[in-house]
Amino acid sequence: MTRVIRGQTLSFAADGKAVHESRGAVAVGDDGTILWAGPQSLLPQGFAQAEVDDYGDKLVMPGFIDAHIHFPQYRMLAAPGKDLLDWLTRFTFPEESRYADAAYARAAAAIFLKRLFAHGTTSALAFCSVHKTCAEALFAAAEAHGMALVTGKTMMDRNAIPAVEDTPETGARETVELYEKWHGKGRLRYAVTPRFAITSSDAQLKVSGELLSSLPGALMQTHLSESPGEIAFVKELFPRAKDYTDVYDHYGLLSDRSLFAHGIHLSDRECARLSESGSTVVHCPTSNTFLGSGLMSMRWLREQDRPVHLGVATDVGGGTSYSMLATLGETYKVQMLTGYKPTAHELFRMATRGNAGRLKIDHETGALEHGKFADIVVLDPEATPVLASRHELSSSLEDVLFSLMILGGDRAVTATYVKGRKVHERA
Type of residue found at 334? V
Residue 366 touches which member of Zn ion, ligand GUN, none, C-beta under 5-8 Å by kind: none
Measuring CA to CA, which residue among 307, 308, 303 is closest to residue 338? 303
Residues 6+ apart with CB under 8 A from 84: 226, 227, 229, 230, 291, 293, 318
d(C-alpha 96, C-alpha 131), whole Å: 9
287 binds ligand GUN per the rule CB under 6 A: yes
Give the separation between CA 27 and CA 234, rounded to whole angstroms. 51
Would you count residue 420 as binding ligand GUN (CB under 6 A)?
A: no
Transcribe 172-218 into DSSP letters: HHHHHHHHHHHTTSTTEEEEEEE--TTTS-HHHHHHHHHHHHHSTT-
- In whole angstroms, the minimum distance from the beta carbon of 77 to Zn ion comes to 13
Q: Going by DSSP bridges, is the β-strand pair 280-283/34-39 parallel, antiparallel, or unpaired? A: unpaired
Binding mask of the shown chain, residues 54 to 73, with x at each position contacting ligand GUN by CB under 6 A: ----------------x---
Cβ proximity to ligand GUN, 88 vs 148, nearer residue: 88
Q: Does 330 bind ligand GUN (CB under 6 A)?
A: no
Show contacts with Zn ion in window 231-270 (CB under 5 A).
Answer: 261
**Could you tell me which stretch among 84-92, 118-126, 139-147, 345-353 binds ligand GUN (CB under 6 A)?**
84-92
Q: Are 39 and 51 in contact (CB under 8 A)?
A: no
> Closest distance between ligand GUN and the C-beta of residue 402, in Å?
27
Q: Three-state DSSP class for 66?
A: strand
Strand, helix or coil for residue 164: helix
Residue 196 interacts with which of Zn ion, ligand GUN, none, CB < 5 to 8 Å by class: ligand GUN
Least distance to ligand GUN, CB of residue 154, Å: 8
Closest to 225 (Cα-Cα) out of 277, 281, 286, 155: 281
Q: How far apart are CA 129 and CA 316, in angstroms?
A: 13
Total residue count of the chain as it appears in this document? 427
Q: What is the three-class DSSP state of 118?
A: helix
**Of positions 315, 330, 346, 362, contacts Zn ion by CB under 5 A:** 315
Q: Give yes or no for residue 95 binding ligand GUN (CB under 6 A).
A: no
Shortest distance, position 223 Cβ to Zn ion, whole Å: 6
Q: Site mask, ligand GUN, residues 203-242, x = CB under 6 A?
A: --------------------x--x----------------
Q: How far is the CB of 419 from ligand GUN (least distance, A)?
A: 29
Alpha carbons 122 and 30: distance in angstroms, whole number: 18
Q: Under the criterion CB under 6 A, does residue 375 sit at the interface with ligand GUN?
A: no
Residue 98 CB, nearest approach to ligand GUN (Å):
15
Q: Which of 132, 145, 195, 257 binds ligand GUN (CB under 6 A)?
A: 195
What are the two backbone dihedrals, phi and then psi, of residue 304, each rounded to the nearest 5 degrees? -55, -35
Work out whether 315 is an interface residue with ligand GUN (CB under 6 A): yes
Q: Does 419 bind ligand GUN (CB under 6 A)?
A: no
314 or 416: CB nearest ligand GUN: 314
End-to-end CA separation in angstroms for the chain: 25
Question: Using CB under 6 A as the criterion, which residues of the chain lie in contact with ligand GUN when the complex forms?
Answer: 70, 84, 88, 92, 195-196, 223, 226, 287, 315, 318
